[in-house]
Structure 1
Amino acid sequence: MEPAAEAARVRRARPEESSSRPLGTGLESEFRVDLERLRFAPSFSRLAEVTQVVTSASTPGVVHNRLTHTIKVSAVARAIAVGLWSSADPDLLDDLGGLDHVVAQAAAVAHDIGHPPFGHLGERVLDRLARTRFGLADGFEGNAQTFRIITELEVLGPGDEGLNLTTAVRAAVLKYPWGRFHWPDPHPSAWPEPPRGATPYRDRVDVAAAGAAAKFSAYVPDLAEMVDVLAAFPMVPPGRQTPECAVMDLADDIAYSLHDLDDFHRSGVLQFSLVSAELREWTSRRAELAALEAAELRARTRMPGAGLERLRRRLAGKDAWIFDEDAFTEAVATVGEEFVDGVLAVPHDGSMAAERALSGFTNQWIDHFVSSVRLVPDPPVRGATVTLTTLAWHQVALLKFVHQHFVLNRPDLAMQQRGQAAAVTSLVTAYDEWLSDTADAGRAPRRLVDLVETAAEGYRRTARERPEWLDHQTDESALTRMSRGRAICDYVASLTDEQVVDQASRLRGDGGRLWPSGGF
């Protein structure tokens, strides 16, 4: 890599005193400092008490939380990056933007820091409230929240904002390198074929948001820094991830596709008969299912095989660049043989034999997926420079389907999630009313007050420098409302599951602890 390109990747957001530099020399030392800053950040520690799918109290078995998920993603990311580094053409890697295994690890450590309490459920609730209650056009998004935390909200030392990470690590968390509306131009949602995540957005209260991306990596006040970060990678086309980001993204998919199946097999939620029937019926009746009209297929929601057919159609429609009928059929067969018949067929009884069978399957398939990674110099717009072989890609999609279809759609989980959504909504509403009370706003939690000031600074700066990113809504009342809304979302998103329930309860007058540990 050319010296100028190396310097751009290593550059930090702000200069540092030499005494704060890591010991030793070389690029890895700079990136390793970033890795440790992320691991020591309170926002990383908090993930131990944030839901992955269900809380630990929901099942007698041990389940993953956001922290254990992140640790596994980091391990898989390192394995992928080391494998590519040792096997790929170094000149090609440089041409694509560079690949360092520590940067990939750091991105994996950071990737879920922006997840709010209760996982994706909390994300959806905060997004709806941000837009409908506070007029924040770009709402709330976990990936954008991650970038905001590491560049603005996390505290490294006295007077510092953000963790002052290198450009390479900041770029590696930009999973969706665009804003919801305003950057780049033309916006990816308007491209003839939008990249993954940039498809036009429609929210869950039937309000269309024309030209908005469903996923994005920076809110309006943070767009300028994202643009500056990406400028250090002129070899990476608009809308494409850096190789290290692509490694992190793929590692996340691999880890997610396997460890949630571990959790719900241990807890007895995944039933052999149901999963087996789904795969068996699709295999034996696939011609009949393929002939059904879309409306008729939707109406057969509980018919075995129908869910798998809907998955097949969705993959074929969205991902024609890699979808293959034969690979899909082979993935159904291998997952059926190795996971359904090889693991699910024997109920998990807590014995060492049951654990050996489950861990053996998981380890074998992680090795299989890591060895199936390949580098694509010029990927299609919905692809990435780091991806899986065609068969492995279909296998990951199928494993994720098993979790989504047989766990996430359960009525008992939906009931719990509705209660969690009510708690988040109640807390956001209560804090908005508190900050609107001029007689008592000064007694609001100190961190919340700080976040209001930080958000106001960001929105005023954007109003001066890029008013078009705010759709020219730059009058003081609009800026005040947006700043308050962004700060409340920042604050609630920084809590643990338990803190949301506790604070919502106290603000309703239901009691709860008066002196929570750590204060405000």
Structure 2
Amino acid sequence: MRQPNRRYSEADFERFVPEHHSGNRSDFERDRARVIHSSGLRKLAAKTQVLSPTAGIDFARNRLTHSLEVAQIGRELAAALGLDRDLVDAACLTHDLGHPPFGHNGERALADWASDAGGFEGNAQTLRILTRLEAKRFTDEGVSAGLNLTRAALDASCKYPWSLAEASPGSAKFGYYEDDRPVFEWMRRGAPDRIKCIEAQTMDLSDDIAYSVHDFEDAIVSEYIDPLILTSRSGHDSLIADVADWAGGSFTADELSEAYDRLATTKTWLTRWDGSRRDQAKLKNFTSDVIGRFARAAIRATQEAVDRSIVSGYGASIVVPHEIHAEIAVLKGIVAAFVMSSGRRQPTYRKQRELLTELLDALWAAGEQELEPAFVADFRAAQNDHEAQRVIVDQVASLTDQSAISWHRRLCEVPLV
């Protein structure tokens, strides 16, 4: 077996169910391979990033292409910071496994439906998939241990190392459900409370960079954003106010306006869009330039913040300059204003939430009869209604956008006589 990275301890390489392997792959390479070969990762190809794969726009990113791009950025950050590239890569590939059909909009519908049974959160669902639902190893008692990744890989995939009850007031972000507490506590053994390891921070930054830039690119190509309007500064003050609202008060309007100006003076900033190859190339070069700038700034600031080589785990933190955070927030906020918060999208979002809610209700009424075999076993093993509701949520969350639509058509729509 390849020698493990000396920055990591024996505890980092432990698995919930002990395994013994021969061969040349490292433990983290094995983790990455298990994620790549998982059905959960394949399903991301048919799940919404910003625009649903069912929308008929075949160039837009889906959750799988987004995850691959996050992993590419993560590998480069890891290499520059002295972290294990396969470990960070695996975390990046897993980070969206828990997303349900229709992305964050679907997440909202499932969270509302399960509000009395522990809620729903995509990151908590990711841990559940990795440690329970995507079965590869079992305990001696016959309980699924999921993919049975190393402790370090699981910890690196965890953006929010706390439960719903421990979440900050007003925040819906959390990393595990109560019935997954045993594996969460095993994963976090020896870790400081509520602190993400540096590999998880690297994954989180890679995600921020990727979706701020690529969602902006997709919104231009799909013509939700007209670069001419951005360049002309039509409604600029109103746009900055919308971005500030989206950023949740993390930046002043002046800081966001200055960040906008820095982005708009980038040589590859697009001033028009006609779909020509020249415009396609300029837009692609803008995304490359901005990703590089964001990554280099974070690497430089992180290296300057420590007086030694970057260490693994909790020995250091990723540092992102405030002005870079502001530029990321501007790109996210522009997409939010023109796409997610756009009036033309609201009927679609409402229909998606209604579809999932009706599907959840129909499956709950049907009991085990309409569930896939693995979920039938979980439903039968449920000790109370809350555990049974969690099984229904697990089933719906596992569906792709198209399969959710198909299941709804089969179970909820009244056939014509």
Find out whether 1:450 has 2:377 as its counterpart.
Answer: yes
Residue aligning to 2:132? 152
8 Å CA contact 1:147, 1:217 repeated in 2: yes
Residue aligning to 2:310? none
Aligned with 2:230 (options 275, 282, 299): 275
Aligned with 1:369 (options 276, 294, 319): 294
The runs of 5 or more residues in structure 2 that have no matched partner are 308-315
Residue aligning to 2:313? none
Find out whether 1:239 has 2:219 as its counterpart.
Answer: no
The correspondence of residues 114-263 of structure 1 with structure 2, limited to 5 A, is 114-131=98-115, 135-136=116-117, 138-156=118-136, 160-181=144-165, 187=166, 198-201=167-170, 213-233=171-191, 237-263=192-218
Query: For residues 360 and 245 of structure 1, do their structure 2 counterparts lie closer, same or farther at Cα, with a shift above 3 Å needed?
Result: same
Find out whether 1:306 has 2:241 as its counterpart.
Answer: yes
Q: Secondary structure at the match of 1:238?
A: coil
Q: Secondary structure at the match of 1:262?
A: helix
- Please, which moves more after superposition, 52-61 or 329-338? 52-61
Query: For residues 126 and 271 of structure 1, do their structure 2 counterparts lie closer, same or farther at Cα, with a shift above 3 Å needed?
Result: same
What is the alpha-carbon distance in structure 1 between the residues aligned to residue 333 and residue 51 of structure 2?
17
What is the alpha-carbon distance in structure 2 between the residues aligned to residue 59 and residue 442 of structure 1?
32
Q: Secondary structure at the match of 1:485?
A: helix
Q: Secondary structure at the match of 2:319?
A: strand
What is the alpha-carbon distance in structure 2 between the residues aligned to residue 271 and residue 61 of structure 1?
20
Q: Shift of residue 228 of structure 1?
A: 1.7
Q: Shift of residue 305 of structure 1?
A: 4.5
Q: Percent identity?
A: 31
Residue aligning to 1:7? 10
- Deviation track 1:141-198 (CA, whole Å, cap 9, x = no partner) reads 00000000000111115764300100000101111101111xxxxx4xxxxxxxxxx4
Corresponding letter in the other structure for 2:217 = D
Query: For residues 217 and 308 of structure 1, do their structure 2 counterparts lie closer, same or farther at Cα, with a shift above 3 Å needed?
Result: closer
Find out whether 1:24 has 2:24 as its counterpart.
Answer: yes
What is the alpha-carbon distance in structure 1 between the residues aligned to residue 413 and residue 107 of structure 2?
26
Using the size of structure 1 for normalisation, the TM-score is 0.71
Corresponding letter in the other structure for 1:388 = V
Find out whether 1:81 has 2:78 as its counterpart.
Answer: yes
What is the alpha-carbon distance in structure 2 between the residues aligned to residue 313 and residue 495 of structure 1?
31
Using the size of structure 2 for normalisation, the TM-score is 0.88
Q: Shift of residue 15 of structure 1?
A: 1.1
Q: Shift of residue 124 of structure 1?
A: 0.5
* CA RMSD, Structure 1 to Structure 2 (Å): 2.7
What is the alpha-carbon distance in structure 2 between the residues aligned to residue 312 and residue 426 of structure 1?
32
What is the alpha-carbon distance in structure 2 between the residues aligned to residue 70 and residue 2 of structure 1?
24
Q: Secondary structure at the match of 1:315?
A: coil
Q: Shift of residue 405 of structure 1?
A: 1.1
Query: For residues 255 and 105 of structure 1, do their structure 2 counterparts lie closer, same or farther at Cα, with a shift above 3 Å needed?
Result: same
Query: For residues 496 and 4 of structure 1, do their structure 2 counterparts lie closer, same or farther at Cα, with a shift above 3 Å needed?
Result: closer
Q: Shift of residue 123 of structure 1?
A: 0.5
The runs of 5 or more residues in structure 1 that have no matched partner are 86-98, 182-186, 188-197, 202-212, 283-302, 317-322, 379-383, 436-440, 457-478, 513-520
What is the alpha-carbon distance in structure 2 between the residues aligned to residue 390 and residue 248 of structure 1?
19
8 Å CA contact 2:47, 2:53 repeated in 1: no
Residue aligning to 1:265? 220
Query: For residues 364 and 279 of structure 1, do their structure 2 counterparts lie closer, same or farther at Cα, with a shift above 3 Å needed?
Result: farther
Instruction: Tell me how many residue pairs correspond in the alignment.
Output: 397
Q: Secondary structure at the match of 1:44?
A: helix
What is the alpha-carbon distance in structure 1 between the residues aligned to residue 60 and residue 183 of structure 2?
36
Q: Secondary structure at the match of 2:265?
A: helix
What is the alpha-carbon distance in structure 2 between the residues aligned to residue 4 and residue 353 of structure 1?
46
Residue aligning to 1:424? 356
- Deviation track 1:270-313 (CA, whole Å, cap 9, x = no partner) reads 0234434558743xxxxxxxxxxxxxxxxxxxx45432454677
Residue aligning to 1:345? 271
Query: For residues 37 and 279 of structure 1, do their structure 2 counterparts lie closer, same or farther at Cα, with a shift above 3 Å needed?
Result: farther
Q: Shift of residue 22 of structure 1?
A: 5.1
Q: Secondary structure at the match of 1:314?
A: coil
Query: For residues 57 and 442 of structure 1, do their structure 2 counterparts lie closer, same or farther at Cα, with a shift above 3 Å needed?
Result: closer
8 Å CA contact 2:239, 2:334 repeated in 1: no
8 Å CA contact 1:265, 1:344 repeated in 2: no
